[in-house]
């Protein structure tokens, strides 16, 4: 009788980030000239050390846990997830996953003896993970891991080189690795998980189990590919390994090349590139079209109103990534199928199982607010009136649902917030009401752009926004722990990280007290904001919202100080190279939508871009006093492509803003006055 399938652990026992950030300026990694992130293990005395990185393609995601053990040996595990191969129960976590460990790895022999250990000397990251190791037998082994772009396979390109002063007899063997899953555990029955070899000069996967590189001369090298793949039973998966590698590298160059950030800080520029990569790669092909997924070993072939609708989708038009825009439209459209005509039920929190089912286990998290906030901004930045017409009913429904959730104080009720009752949020929380306020303003602008301003529509949403703004101030404004800021919900008397949200939405009435509270020892830590004062739990999403809000509030020097510190740690510290979900929950999983939030710190915070129409936006750049200039190159939003440049005059007292090379604003530095740009 076949044993019941168990979901494999995402992280092996030895790979725990521990919430570590590093020791001050002693960062573990450096930036190479080509933007690669490099860990020079040969110069590192702080061992052992372990880390993990997630990389994704349209049909696979892999979390590679790697590091250097107590004896300097390589530690390596490949946790592969195949979102299109569904398991039972077909729910949020119902993607086939498997750990390809040592038993699935190629066995390299030198002079007839297996290489028992590899000793890493250099690790490089730039859209792939490359590990360069040496062996006691004089062989150098370079492993380059990446996901296939279009196939359900993880690619490991291995180059072996003779570093000895003599001829070495080298051969490579792969066990006939085949794991067949329990047919009762799969939606489509059994799945086959395989490890195969392919020569570097072979177009397709080979069934050969051994490559014999007899008599390798000193300095001679050979390359082979190992593929870790999955497919339904008896279906042969044909993978062109070399072509998939080329497609992966081309995509990385595309993401790095579009929407380029230019600032005096090379670390910020690089982190922005990596955020574009991580935010864009985590899109999966499902039976209901393309779907962006957070990842992390659990969250694939599914959508959330916060991660996708609110966090990442409004960013994709700026990057101009076609798959990102397509999945955004698809995701917003799929949610419209769950908007009932009587407004009696909240919008579901998550569409799961490739969009064929839903999850609403946390009740109403303010999901309609998240949808309206993100969809209205997306429609204008995307610059396509036809897409806006398609999504308009969903935005209108969401705002009407929210209107019906007003309590007697005029703020918006919800059962919880996006932290899903991990921390208390009361009957009505600050985040949900602030999202609705911003969504009302954006929807009024969208209505005007669509020609729906028969006074009633535009005026209605603006009046609703003004009314809600007053209610937010009356209901949430409070002195909390001695700071003139906001309570997160009625009865809340402990500082919370989400007091930053009003700043993001342009509510500056309690700016000073809020800034003092955010960067007080009660909230700000070496890992950014803790969720609640006195607690060690942190969620990067709150820190990224806060940094965007501090820029928007006209405090660029304060924002830059803390942005630089946390970015250096995330990009070059102990757990690299992306902003993460949380800790201790999830072992600092590199959920992809957080990277979208990081990018928006710049597009909406530093450069102050807010969509106001299909071909227009307001702009309020906040240039730190230590910078003379900054730019966003090749912005793809609003139906065109343009550069946005900000520079100081000779005296430094005025800022000049250029769009497409034309001067659009010349104003005193430090103002919070927005100006409108028509494209």
Residue 204's pLDDT band (boundaries 50, 70, 90)? low
Q: Across all residues in the chain, what is the average pLDDT? A: 94
Alpha carbons 268 and 262: distance in angstroms, whole number? 9
Q: Which has more pLDDT, 636 or 21?
A: 636
pLDDT of residue 450: 96
d(Cα 598, Cα 548) in Å, to the nearest integer? 9
Rounded Cα gap, residues 422 and 365, in angstroms:
12
Beta bridge partners of 539: 582
The stretch 112-131 carries a mean pLDDT of: 97
Per-residue pLDDT of 461-479, as tens digits, reads 999 999 999 999 999 999 9
Q: Tell me, what's the pLDDT at 667?
A: 85
CB 201, CB 210: distance < 8 Å: no
SS3 content of the chain, % helix, strand, coil (to 5): 30, 30, 40
Which tokens sit at 66? 């790697």
Instruction: State how far the Cα of 601 lies from the Cα of 570, in Å rounded to an integer.
Output: 15
Is the pLDDT confidence value at 2 over 70?
A: no
Can you give the residue ranges of every domain in the chain? 30-252, 258-598
Q: Longest C-alpha distance within the chain, in Å?
A: 85
DSSP-derived letter for residue 641 is: -
pTM of the model: 0.96
Q: Can you read off the two tokens belonging to residue 77? A: 């595990």
| Mean pLDDT in residue range 359-379 | 97
Q: Are 430 and 366 in contact (CB under 8 A)?
A: no
pLDDT at 291: 98
Local structure of residue 13 (DSSP, 8 states): T
- Mean pLDDT value across residues 309-329: 98
Q: What is the pLDDT of residue 184?
A: 96
Q: What is the pLDDT of residue 17?
A: 79
Residue 19 pLDDT greater than 50, yes or no: yes
Q: What is the pLDDT of residues 516-554, one digit of tens each?
A: 999 999 999 999 999 999 999 999 999 999 999 999 999
Provide the pLDDT for residue 468: 98
Of the candidates 352, 368, 475, which has an alpha carbon nearest to the alpha carbon of residue 414?
368
User: Cα dist. 669→622, 656, 666 in Å?
Assistant: 8, 9, 9
148 pLDDT above the threshold of 90: yes
pLDDT reading at 201 higher than 60: no
On the question of pLDDT at 447 being above 50, the answer is yes
The token duo for 354 is 């490739």
Domain 30-252, CATH: 2.70.98
Is the model's pLDDT at 320 over the cut of 50? yes
> Taking the alpha carbons of 40, 42, 45, 50 in that order, is the dihedral positive or negative?
positive
Residue 26: pLDDT band (50, 70, 90) is confident
What is the pLDDT, as a whole number, of residue 102?
A: 79
Tell me how many degrees the CA angle 220-226-230 measures, rounded to the nearest 5. Answer: 175
Confidence check: pLDDT of 3 > 60: no
Output the pLDDT for position 203: 54
Residue 2, judged by CB atoms within 10 A of its CB (0-12, 13-18, 19+), counts as: exposed
What integer pLDDT is reported at residue 376 of this predicted model?
98
Is 174 a residue whose pLDDT tops 60? yes
Q: What is the pLDDT of residue 238?
A: 87
Point out which residues pair with 665 in neighbouring strands.
657
H-helix segments, 477-586: 501-504, 511-518, 540-552, 556-572
Q: What is the DSSP annotation of 322-363?
A: HHHHHHHHHHHHHHHTT--TT--SPPPSEEEGGGTEEE-TT-
> Given this chain, do its domains 30-252 and 258-598 carry the same CATH topology?
no
Residue-level pLDDT at 348: 96
Distance of alpha carbon 541 from alpha carbon 274, whole angstroms: 16
So what's the pLDDT on residue 210? 67
For the segment 217-265, what is each residue's pLDDT rounded down to a tens digit? 999 999 999 999 999 999 988 899 999 999 999 999 999 999 999 999 9
pLDDT of 205 strictly over 70: no
Mean pLDDT of 290-318: 98
> What's the pLDDT at 25?
61
pLDDT in tens, 28-64: 999 999 999 999 999 999 999 999 999 999 999 999 9
**Closest among 449, 292, 439 to 383, alpha carbons compared:** 449
Tell me the mean pLDDT in the region 78-89: 98
597-655: per-residue pLDDT in tens? 999 999 999 999 999 999 999 999 999 999 999 999 999 999 999 999 999 987 888 89
What's 258-598's CATH class? mainly alpha
Q: What percent of the chain has pLDDT over 70?
A: 96
192, 180 in Cβ contact below 8 A? yes
pLDDT at 650: 79
- Percent with pLDDT over 90 in the chain: 87
């Amino acid at each position: 009788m076949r044993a019941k399938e168990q979901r494999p652990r995402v992280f092996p026992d030895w790979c725990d980030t521990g919430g570590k950030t590093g020791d001050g300026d002693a960062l573990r990694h450096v930036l190479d000239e080509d933007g690669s992130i490099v860990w020079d293990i040969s110069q590192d005395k702080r061992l052992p050390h372990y880390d993990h990185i997630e990389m994704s393609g349209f049909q696979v995601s892999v979390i590679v846990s790697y590091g250097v053990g107590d004896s300097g040996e390589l530690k390596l595990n490949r946790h592969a997830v195949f979102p299109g191969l569904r398991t039972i129960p077909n729910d949020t976590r119902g993607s086939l996953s498997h750990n390809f460990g040592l038993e699935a790895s190629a066995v390299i022999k030198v002079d007839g003896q297996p290489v028992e250990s590899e000793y890493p000397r250099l690790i490089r990251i730039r859209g792939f993970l490359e590990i360069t190791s040496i062996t006691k037998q004089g062989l150098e082994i370079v492993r380059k891991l990446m996901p296939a772009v279009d196939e359900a396979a993880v690619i490991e390109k291995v180059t072996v080189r003779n570093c000895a002063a003599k001829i070495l007899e080298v051969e490579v063997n792969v066990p006939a690795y085949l794991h067949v899953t329990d047919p009762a555990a799969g939606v489509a029955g059994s799945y086959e998980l395989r490890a195969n070899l392919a020569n570097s000069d072979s177009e397709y996967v080979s069934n050969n189990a051994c490559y014999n590189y007899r008599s390798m001369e000193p300095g001679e090298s050979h390359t082979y590919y190992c593929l870790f793949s999955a497919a339904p039973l008896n279906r042969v998966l044909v993978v062109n390994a070399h072509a998939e590698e080329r497609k992966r590298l081309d995509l990385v160059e595309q993401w790095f090349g579009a929407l380029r950030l230019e600032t005096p800080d090379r670390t910020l520029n690089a982190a922005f590139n990596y955020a574009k990569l991580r935010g864009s790669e985590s899109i999966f092909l499902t039976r209901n079209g393309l779907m962006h997924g957070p990842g992390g070993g659990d969250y694939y072939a599914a959508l959330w109103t916060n991660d996708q609708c609110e966090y990442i989708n409004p960013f994709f038009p700026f990057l101009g990534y076609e798959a990102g825009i397509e999945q955004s439209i698809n995701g917003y459209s799929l949610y419209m199928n769950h908007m009932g005509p009587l407004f009696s039920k909240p919008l579901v929190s998550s569409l799961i199982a490739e969009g064929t089912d839903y999850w609403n286990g946390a009740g109403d998290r303010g999901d309609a607010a998240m949808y309206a906030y993100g969809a209205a901004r997306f429609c204008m930045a995307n610059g396509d009136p036809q897409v806006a017409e398609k999504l308009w009913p969903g935005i209108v429904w969401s705002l009407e649902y929210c209107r019906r959730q007003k309590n007697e104080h005029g703020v918006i009720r919800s059962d919880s917030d996006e932290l899903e009752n991990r921390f208390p949020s009361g009957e009505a929380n600050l985040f949900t009401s602030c999202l609705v306020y911003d969504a009302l303003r954006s929807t009024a602008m969208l209505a005007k752009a669509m020609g729906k301003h028969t006074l009633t529509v535009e005026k209605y949403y603006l009046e609703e926004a003004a009314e809600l703004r007053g209610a937010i101030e009356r209901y949430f404004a409070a002195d909390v722990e001695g700071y003139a800021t906001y309570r997160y919900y009625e009865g809340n008397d402990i500082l919370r990280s989400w007091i930053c949200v009003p700043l993001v939405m342009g509510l500056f009435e309690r700016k000073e007290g809020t800034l003092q509270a955010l960067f007080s020892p009660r909230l700000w830590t070496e890992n950014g904001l803790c969720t609640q004062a006195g607690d060690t739990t942190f969620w990067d999403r709150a820190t990224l919202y806060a940094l965007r809000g501090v820029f928007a509030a006209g405090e660029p020097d304060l924002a830059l100080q803390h942005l630089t510190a946390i970015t250096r740690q995330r990009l070059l510290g102990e757990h690299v190279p992306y902003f993460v979900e949380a800790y201790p929950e999830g072992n600092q999983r590199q959920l992809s939508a957080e990277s979208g939030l990081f990018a928006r710190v710049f597009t909406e915070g530093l450069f102050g871009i807010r969509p106001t129409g299909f071909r227009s936006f307001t702009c309020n750049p906040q240039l730190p006093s230590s910078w003379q200039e900054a730019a966003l190159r090749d912005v793809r939003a609003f139906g065109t492509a343009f550069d946005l440049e900000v520079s100081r005059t000779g005296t430094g007292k005025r800022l000049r803003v250029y769009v497409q090379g034309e001067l659009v604003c010349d104003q005193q530095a430090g103002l919070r006055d927005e100006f409108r740009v028509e494209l």
